[in-house]
Amino acid sequence: MTDNSSQSDGTAPDIETDGGVQTSRRNVNYLDAQINIFKPATPFMRDHLKIVWMMFVAWTIIVFGPVTATFLAPDLMTSITILGFPLHYLLTAMGAPSGALILSFIYARKRDQLDDKYGIDHSTKQAAPDTETVAPDGGAEQ
């Protein structure tokens, strides 16, 4: 991947020297990898955004598809009935909310798998963080 200096407005080049090193993903310095939703700079962000965009497209179709279909072909959508529901009503009132719920579940599962792949541990029992850094904020400890 050629991922340095590819942004439109020419950032200083020194910030992304190792953003695309794929062989040693543990060594990626994430504080140096540029954040741009269209040009992910690290393997982790590339993998993550692939999931995000795929699912976002599915979501758009589920949410705005039925009402648009109803607008384009009103007779067809209102004349088909399933369980007494006109098709447009069924897809909008039940399809969209439950579709979004199912997609959310799939996303959270995929994201957990991605965390496994990158060895991310979310256990909150890790050592207490450096209290010096949070002290100005009130410093409440567990």
Q: Which residues contact 133 (CB under 8 A, 6 or more apart)?
A: none
Q: How far is the CB of 34 from other proteins (least distance, A)?
A: 6
Q: Is 134 in the site for other proteins (CB under 8 A)?
A: yes
Cα→Cα distances 45→7, 11, 13, 139, Å? 16, 19, 20, 32
Could you say whether residue 4 binds other proteins (CB under 8 A)?
no
**Is residue 32 involved in binding other proteins (CB under 8 A)?**
yes
The single residue among 1, 3, 4, 107 that binds other proteins, judged by CB under 8 A, is 107
The residue among 59, 88, 62 whose CA lies nearest residue 73 is 88
For residue 6, state whether it binds other proteins (rule: CB under 8 A). no
Q: By CB under 8 A, is residue 57 in contact with other proteins?
A: no
- Supply 30's token pair: 């994430």
Closest by Cα among 3, 37, 35 to 20: 3
Distance in Å, CB of 112 to other proteins, minimum:
7
Rounded to a whole number of angstroms, the minimum distance from the CB of residue 75 to other proteins is 11
